[in-house]
Each structure stands twice: as C-alpha cells, then as structure tokens.
Structure 1
Amino acid sequence: MAGQSPDSIVFFGCKTDCNNQTLRGKCTGFDCCQTTVPSSGIQRLNVTLESTTNNMNTCKHAFVAETQWLESNKTDPSNDVQYLNYVPVALAWTSIINLTFTEAHINECEDERQKYPRYQCPPDLECENTKGSYRCNKRKSPLKIAILGVLIGLIVVLICSSCLYLVIKQRKLIKLKQRLFEQNGGLILQQKLNKEGNSVETTKIFTMEELKKATNNYDETLIIGEGGFGMVYKGFLSDNRIVAIKKSKIAEKSQIEQFINEIIVLSQINHRNVVKILGCCLETPIPLLVYEFIPNGTLFEYIHHESIASTISWETRLKIAAETAEALSYLHSAASPPIIHRDIKSSNILLDNNYTAKVSDFGASKLVPLDHTQIATLVQGTLGYLDPEYMQTSQLTEKSDVYSFGVVLVELLTGEKAVSFDRPERERSIASYFLSSFKDNRLFEVLEKHIASEGNVEQLKEVANLASRCLRLKGEDRPTMREVTSELEGLRNIKNNSCVDGDVNDNVRDNVTLNLTMGDEISLIEYPS
C-alpha cells in the first residue's frame, strides 16, 4: 500500500502465508494480515495485491477498516469479508487548533453503485441509502402514489371544509343570538339596568350557554314545574347557586317594552313573600327567566297529595293564606307601577322549608298604568281560577286576582282541587259548590275532615265568609287584597276557642282584643246568625 502526502510517498503493508486451508482466529499472519494506515499527512491511498507464488486464482480481498471495529467485530475476515455490505472507515485531518476524527458517510446508491456493480439493486427494486450502507426496497407503483396523493388531498380538503363550515356556523350562531338579544329588548334592558344602578344590582343577563349548562341541556329529570305558560327547571349555576329557570312556551312579541319593564319592576321587588327574580336570558327565541329556588314545592302538592295533605295544619294553612294575600296586596298597592298577577293558583304558591309562602310565576302578569284601573287584554289564566267577569268583558283588574285568591282559600278549606271532572257535575267547580254549600249552611259538609276537627270553628266560618266575598261575580263587590290581608291577619290573632259539635260560640267575638296602631285598617264583618 502506498500513501501519498503533499511532501512524500509513504509505503507500508503486510504479508501473509496461505496454504489453502481456512484458518479461524484473528488476523495474525496466517491466511490474512493487517497493518495500520499512518494518520499523518496521508491524502491518497493505493492498494496493490501481489503473489509470491504466481498463483492469483484464489479469492483475495483487501479493504480499509477502522481498527477498533475490526478487532471487536471480525474474527475471521477471510471468510466474512465477501459478505460485508460495508465496513466503517475513519478519515483524519489536522488543523492548527486540534485533530478531529469523524466517520465518513458515503451514498452508495449514487456513488458506489457506479464503481461496483454488485451494489446495484435488481430492476424491480430501488436503492435506499442508509448510514454506511444501502438497502433495496420494493418500488412504489406510480398509480398507488397517485391514488395516495389524491386521498391525502381529499382528506386535506375535507378537513379545511369542516373547519370552514364550523367557523361559518359559529358566526351565524353569534349573529342569531345577537339578533334575538336585540329583538327581545336586550339593549333596552341593559340601558335600564345601568340607569337604575344599585337597585337592580342582583339582576343579571345570562347567556344561553350558561343556562344550558345549568340545566344539563334542559334535562327532563330537572323539571320541577309545568304549566300552560312553560316549563320550570331546577338549575345549578357555576357559583353553586341553585335556581329555578322558566322556559316559556308563549311570548308576546309586540310587548317587548312591557316585558322589559316587568323584569325591571320585579327586579326591584324585595318582598319576603314574592319569589325573587335573579335575571333572564334574551339569546333564545323566547326569553328565559331565572328565579331563586324554593325547595319545598308548591301549595298544590301539599293540599292535594293524599299522603301529605293531613300534615298541613289549619294554623299553617291560615298562615300561608295571610302571606299570599300580603304579597298580592304589595303587588297591587305598593309596586310602582302596580302589577296584576293574573294567574294566582295553588300551584303558583311555593313553600320554603318553614312553609313560608312565595308567590311565583309572573308569566301572565300585567303592569297597570298609574292612570288606569283596568286593562283590556286577551283572557289568560287557569280554568277554575279565572274571574267570570274578566272572562265576559276581557277587562283585567286587580279584583281578578282577588277572585283567584278566593278559589285558593276554598282549596285550603276543603282540600279539593279547583276543577275536577271526577266529581258530580254540580261539584266539578269547587268555587260554585262551596258557595252553594255556604249559603245553605252546609259549610262543615265541604270542609276537609281534619281541618273541620282541629280548626277553630269561628276562624273557619270567618275565613269561609271572606272566601265567599272574594268569589262574588261583580269585581266591585269584592274586597281589595289590602282588606283581605288585614282580615286574615286579624283572624290569626284570634285565640283557638273550643266548640261543641261544630256550633259557633257567638259570645267569643265579644271578647276579642285587637292591638292597633295609627294607620291600621279595621274591617267589620257581619256574620249570619
């Protein structure tokens, strides 16, 4: 072997003896030999094989390899070298600073294949260069490549189209919610809320997503009330508050200004016997209302459910009646402008854990202009509670609420539903049947049994008399809710006096003492003998 440097030619080499026998072991001079290539200044290397016996027919191989690799990997070069695809070779170069060694990498597919045809792959295979070697892979079909390209293109187009569709859909949804928000008076409501300031600081405009999440997308298992005006769901807000969310079925699109005013007015009401409104959602076709959650259900459930009806004593029923009357009196007289509920019934009176009455469901309510005593409107309400005069004239007044409250009083006294087609025809309307029984002195025949036995007879007759006056056909003949409230509170102060066989002790009334202050109203009631 001859190595050429810029200044000189360096000769080096080795010699081995062959006796045509295959020897196993390291390259020690028998059957093979090895020598070290000088590392100083060699830029070119020539290898020459010569035979001393003129016998060159046997296979002879010479190759340059990295010393450490040769010592650790090849124990029989004469036998294995012909099967080697590659051996590592280290090239060295010097610089002024230091001496660095690196492993040479050759692209056998491009270079070596031209010099050594044995590296070429068969025609049906293609060469792939690897680190220090190459491999022959199956050629990819142009048709398959084209199909794969088309599929990848289609997938890319599909993904881009889906993303574009979702973006467009999201933008349309945002525009729709904004349009509904404005259509439902959201801008007006925001302006009024800002104008009112702290008086309505608890009122919030909820987003559609907030209420969907609160009700688990309006899960049917969370329905806690259902009526002609919509469904009421139990909801859980993100701040852990439990609320009641009313999803209405009917919306008066022409009354947006009035709807907004109603929310503002109800937001300002802070009465212990009126369910507090917490906010609304205006991003849906029909606005949603959010109220405080009252945990103990409705009065209807307590007086008409057989298993629990007897647990509501007469004293508790009288308390519920007085609190409901007080709430209606507040709406009629203290609210500005006055509010007519228009759908007073036992299912719209909620009870908390202390059986405190909470008037709810203002979906049919109307605001009364200060210079009006009645409103011409389409008749709305619940069968059995509707004011007959209102049904005939379509003129809504506060006395319409008085009539409906009278039906609730009858429910509390009798334990019967307002309307039931399971009863005989003359008893289907409990209000009519009660009035005829009371007129014929058969009151205790229609009273609920445990109420008749445990209640103060005088109280029962006086409450029955009050109910009959609330149920008069002409609104002008009915008492106001303020008068009803005053009478019920007075009756609650009457001591529970004993009586025999349901007969009233007429002398009891002579000993009643009323504690009055300036401004209290006194109602004198005339009772039949």
Structure 2
Amino acid sequence: MALHTALSQLMSLVEILLIVAIAATAVSPRAKPGCNDTCGDLKIPYPFGTTSDCYFNKDFFINCSYLYNPPKPFLRRSDVQVTRIGFNGSLVVLLQVTRDCYDVNGYTDNVDSCSSWSRSLSRFSVSNTENKFTVIGCDSYGYVEGSIGEKIYRTGCLTICENKNSVYNGSCTGNGCCQIDIPKGLTQINVSAYSFKNHSLVSGFNPCTYAFVAEKSRFNFSTDYLSKLTQDQFPLVLDWTIPVNETCEEANSTSCYACKENSERYVREDYGGYLCRCKNGYEGNPYLSNGCQDVDECSGPHNCTHICNNEEGSYSCKCREGFHGDGRKDGEGCIPDVHLLVKVALGVGISLAVLLVSSTWLYLVLKKRKLMKLKEKFFKQNGGLLLQQELSKRSRSSEKAKIFTAEELQKATDNYDDSRIIGQGGFGTVYKGFLTDSSSVAIKKSKIIDKNQTEQFVNEVVVLSQINHRNVVRLLGCCLETEVPLLVYEFVNNGTLFEHIHNKDKAPNISWETRLRIAAETAGVLFYLHSAAATPIIHRDVKSANILLDHNFTAKVSDFGTSKLVAIDETQLSTVVQGTLGYLDPEYLHTSQLTEKSDVYSFGVVLVELLTGKKALWFEKPEGQRSLVMYFLTSLKQGCLFEILENHILKDGNEGQLKEVAQLAKICLNVKGEERPTMREVAMELDRLRMMDKLSWVNVELNPEEMECSAQEGTTTSKTMY
C-alpha cells in the first residue's frame, strides 16, 4: 500500500513537471505563421502585418522601411511612424508639429515654418480620450480639421500673453498655451498654425506658433517652449477596430469573424467595428488560430486554500487528505477532520517547544561566539598583541600595566551605570569602579581613537604605567576588547584643582601655603617627566583641570597619558594633544610644535590661577580682561599685583613671597620659549620659596616700573575691575 502511494505521488510529480515544461515552451504566437512580427523596436501583432498575406486588410499594413538602421515602421504608404500597437484597439504614431515662425522684422522664417499639414490615418480615428489639440504662442491661433463620417469637422483655439513672466509651467488655459478636446471619430487630420501679427510684438521670446495633436499624458507645457520647441514630433493615439462584415451579420455566422478559438468579439460604440479578446482563463492573440491559450491559474495567485488543479480555461480546488470542504478562500475552505486536529495540535506543540529551546540555545551560542570574535577583533585592532609582547619584555618588573578584560571593567562599574560617572567632557566619560580586591579605580571611556596610532598607544601604556611618582595619577592598565581602549587609573577622591580655586565655596579652604605646595608638587612632577623619567615625556596639556587633589590636597598630575605618544627623538616621547585655549603656548601658532617650554608656559598660567583665583579665559568679562595672561601681565606692569590677587591669600608677612611667585609666573609666560626657565629651574625656585622664613619677604621690592599702579592717574593703588 505504501509503495502504491509513493508511486502515485511520483507520477503526479512527473505530470506537474511535464505541464510546467510544456507551458514554458508554449509561447503565444503574435503574428501569422511565417510572418515577421517585428520591425525595428516595434512588435507587430496580427491583424497588422508587413506583407499582403500577413495583415487582415490594407488598412492594417505596416510598411517596414529598411532604409533606416534600425528599420522604421510606417502606417501604410505614409510617413506616419508607428511606435506601439495594442490588442485593446490602440495604435500610437508620431505626428509632426506645425510651425509658423517669423524673424525679428516680422518676415516669414522659411527654414523653421511649416504652417499647415494634412495626414491620412487610414480608416483609423484619433482617440478622443487620449489626445488633445494644443497651440503654443503669445500671438497665436491654430486649427485642427478632419472628417467624422461624411461630415467635415473644424475647430481651434488661440493663445496670447504680454510677456514671459505672465506664463506658468504646466498651465495651458490660453495664456501662452491653449488646449481643446478632440471629438470621437476624427480622421484625415489637418493641423494649421497662424500668428495674429507675425510675432512682431513678442519675437524677442516667442518667434513661432506651434500647433499639434498629441497624447495628453506625454505633453507638459513649459515656458521655455515659447522661445523654442525643440521637439519636432509628438505621439498620437489612434483607435482601430475590425470592420463589420455585413454578410457575416446577415448570416449570423461566427466562422467569418476575425475572432478565433477561445475568444469573443465585442463592439466599440460609435466606431463602426469590433474588437476581439480572449475568454476568461485564456491569454494571447485572439485574432490567430490557437492564439488564445489556456492560462495556468495555479501558477499565480488563486482562490484555493490547499490544492489547485488547472483546467482548460479555468481551475478547480480540492482539500488535502485529512480535510474536507470546497477548498476555496471565498467559500467554506478546507476544514480539518476531528482526529487530525488532535494530531496537529500535539505535533505543533512539540515542534514549537523543540524549536523554542533549540533556537534559544543557538541564539545564545551564536551571540557568545559573535561577542568573542568582536572582542578578538578589537583586541588586535587596538594593538593587544603588540602590548603583550612589550609587557613580556618587562616580566621581571614589578611595576607594569595590566590588561583588563571587558567583563572585569563592566562588573567594576555596574555595567557603566550613570551613577558611577565622575567626569565628562569632549574626550569621553570617566567612571568610578571597584575591582575584585575592593580597590577604587577611575576608568576612562574615550569617544574616539585614531586607529592609525596603535603602536604609539601601546608605547604610551607601557611607558606611562611605569611612572612611579607620588604626584602622578598612576596608569594601572587598559582594556583592549572594546571598540575604543579603556584606560584604568588610580582613583583620586578630592576633585580637580580647577574646581577648588574657581568654586567660591571651596576656594577659601585652600590657603596660600597649600596653593604654593600644590604648585611646587606640580612643578616637581613636570621636572621629573622632562628630565628624570626613564623615557622623558612632554605633557602638552598642563592646566588646573588636569591636576587632581587627594584628601590631603596633595597634587596628582593627570591626562598626560590619555593620548597617543609620538617620538620626538629616539629617547623622548610626547603626547599628541593640541592643548587648551588659555593655556596654549603662543609659539605653537607659528611653529605647530609643542615642546618642554610649552609645558613651562602652561604651568605659568596655572600659577596665575593660583594667585588670582581667576579662569584662564573668561568671555563674560570686558575685552581687556578676557585673557587671564594679558590681564595679569598688564596689571603687573602697572604695579597692580595686589589688586588682582585672590582676597584671602594676602596677609601680613607673605607679600614678598607673593611678589616672587608673580615674578616667576611672569618669566614662565614669556612669548619666546628660549626666554622661559626650565621646569627644573621653576621647581627649584618654588622649593626655595617654600623653605624661606616668612619674615624674609618684608623688604623685597618689585621692579621700579611695577611700583606704581597707574602713573597716569598719579596714584599708587587701583581697584580691580569686576
């Protein structure tokens, strides 16, 4: 029984394949056997043809002219070119534009003018639904004439306009362009174009009148046509029908009609003829024997819910085994048998459960695999292999960078929760994290990284992680498994120097002695980086926001290790940082190079911040006070130092010390780098100032030009302008 069922199914499959193969090879004929069905690009279906035995009658003759390459088809013996033929009784031809042109003097332009033409359209008529008669011009009128049966029909329209600005694109209502409908049944068409005054008044932009009958969907008026209509021809839609054979009508015989097997004729009202069409379920050329062939409705959209059986001219529906009904979507459809419902429900339930479990497992496996590949890609892209090699060379060193995993840092920051954010800026975001040993760290998540600087970044991590200085924020390591590397630093808990000196609530808590100590510690770090580190480093972005403070207000210099490193010579490295406005070395604007003396200049700005409590740039201030450096140097020159100092730092006994620090800041801010001291000299001077007794500053004087605050006003003091 099973073998019999299998053989039956195999035979059914073979039958289906044969039907498909036959349908694929059976192409519906277009022309009579032995007749050419194309001329150039035109497809020529019967009843049209190119020779006497290939068309229905002489009205359907298509003259294929081989004088052109490719050949061109014309209607009968005329010069009317045919471009499309449809079974629905339509024929598209090209008809020329009638022109009536004049030169600037009002004389006829014989080259461009053709004020009238007439064409015979066989027995076909101009379609009144698809075409319109159009006249273009500002001094123009035109006529269209033809025959409707035995009657002569003539009509026209006129168009005027004063100038080109009064005409609008797409508007054909008599202002620069006019259009009228064509009556039904118009044949033997004649089109004429004229000008009222030979365009003498408007020849500057409208030398011609243009008149033509054209398919309305293929023409859209443009004001440019008033100057010149470059198109010589427009498509025209004709209506055609098969002429009625009176003998057939009298005998009521269908054998002499043009409609063949599996087709039917239908009459077009007021056209004096009929057309043929294939019956429902058939398609092809209804004017040829066997031209209408069966359509396989089952190969396309159909109304069956289960099985579709193609039949001659139609199709039928039936249900699969285990179902009953008419099998139609618009009927009762196919209803499952009761016992089948139980089997289906059980099978579907088990299948869904298995599918759910397997798809979930597969999704998790693929997701994990994709994540691992992505991490591996980022690790290599960010120089992980190179970093491992560099760290292995320093395996004996107790101080070396650690390569953290993405999971470690994700866990340390509670998946980068917003509550862990301790800083944000153009560079990215800094999170506070806790490692597995409960130690606090700061994790910097940058926004972007230059993928062309991977080797320099690796060098930076290796070198900066070995800096062991109490006043440097220690770089502990990095994570390279993310799109941009994550940098891990020691956590400094008391904010930045910028916050403490520019916050009116915090500033009074930092005494002058603490400020001087912070300055000395910062200078010592920069001296260490420039001269004493294993690999000398230039910071290039020294500012109060990059000086962190711990709970004892001990300075911790940061952010010299957040950029790529670039070799200046074989032993020196510098960070690729463009600096910050207000702190940037003015020589950089001329040389595009930042040097050790650039750090000295930026440190000088920090000294001025510590002295005055004012920001490096303050755009809300008057123009002369927006740059702290210029404001400080001007006040110092005028002898107004004590007028611009932070209020609470000036007290009995430290005036001389403040003057010396101001003098130190002044020489650090020299425009020429060669005239600035080195960070070693700056650090030594600050250490010296801290060690000296306060009483030693009483008799210290400024330079003579700094004694007077405003010589022009004859006074030794001036008030700070805030």
- The interval holding the TM-score normalised by the smaller chain is 0.5 to 0.7
Contact 1:301 1:347 in 2 (8 A): yes
Partner of 1:275: 473
Contact 1:343 1:365 in 2 (8 A): no
Partner of 1:93: none
Percent identity reads 63
Task: Quote the offset at 1:182 in angstroms.
Answer: 1.1
Task: Quote the offset at 1:236 in angstroms.
Answer: 0.6
Counterpart Cα distance in 1 of 2:554 and 2:362: 55
- Report which structure shows greater RCO (CA 8 Å, sep ≥6): 1
More helix by share: 1
The 5 Å alignment of 1:1-400 reads 141-361=339-559, 362-364=561-563, 366-370=565-569, 380-400=578-598
Counterpart Cα distance in 1 of 2:572 and 2:463: 18
The 5 Å alignment of 1:366-515 reads 366-370=565-569, 380-453=578-651, 456-497=654-695, 505-506=699-700
Contact 1:406 1:470 in 2 (8 A): yes
Counterpart Cα distance in 2 of 1:159 and 1:205: 37
Contact 2:391 2:400 in 1 (8 A): no
Query: More displaced, 153-162 or 408-417?
Result: 153-162
State the Cα deviation string for residues 243-289 of structure 1 (Å, max 9, x = none): 01111123122111111111111121111111111110011111111
Contact 1:414 1:447 in 2 (8 A): yes
Counterpart Cα distance in 2 of 1:149 and 1:466: 89
Task: Quote the offset at 1:141 in angstroms.
Answer: 4.7
More strand by share: 2
Contact 1:184 1:287 in 2 (8 A): yes
Partner of 1:40: none
Q: 1:443 to 1:335 in 2, by over 3 A?
A: same
What value does the CA root-mean-square deviation take over the aligned residues?
2.6
Name the aligned partner's letter for residue 323 of structure 1. E
Name the aligned partner's letter for residue 464 of structure 1. A
Contact 2:548 2:558 in 1 (8 A): yes
Contact 1:200 1:268 in 2 (8 A): no
Counterpart Cα distance in 1 of 2:662 and 2:680: 18
Counterpart Cα distance in 1 of 2:343 and 2:362: 28
Partner of 2:294: none
Counterpart Cα distance in 2 of 1:305 and 1:492: 25
3-state secondary structure, aligned to 2:341: helix
Partner of 1:121: none
3-state secondary structure, aligned to 2:378: helix
Query: How many residues are matched?
Result: 370
3-state secondary structure, aligned to 2:397: helix
Counterpart Cα distance in 2 of 1:485 and 1:340: 16
Task: Quote the offset at 1:429 in angstroms.
Answer: 1.5
Counterpart Cα distance in 1 of 2:653 and 2:458: 45
Task: Quote the offset at 1:304 in angstroms.
Answer: 1.0
Counterpart Cα distance in 2 of 1:487 and 1:364: 30
3-state secondary structure, aligned to 2:506: helix
Counterpart Cα distance in 1 of 2:345 and 2:694: 95
3-state secondary structure, aligned to 1:268: coil
Consecutive unaligned residues of structure 2, counting only runs of 5 or more, are 1-337, 708-722
Contact 1:280 1:290 in 2 (8 A): yes
Counterpart Cα distance in 2 of 1:472 and 1:207: 47
Counterpart Cα distance in 1 of 2:485 and 2:533: 23
Query: More displaced, 197-206 or 413-422?
Result: 197-206
3-state secondary structure, aligned to 1:463: helix
TM-score normalised per structure 2: 0.49
Task: Quote the offset at 1:453 in angstroms.
Answer: 3.0
Contact 1:351 1:358 in 2 (8 A): yes
Contact 1:281 1:288 in 2 (8 A): yes
Query: More displaced, 363-372 or 271-280?
Result: 363-372
Task: Quote the offset at 1:147 in angstroms.
Answer: 1.9
Structure with max Cα Rg: 1
Contact 1:379 1:390 in 2 (8 A): no
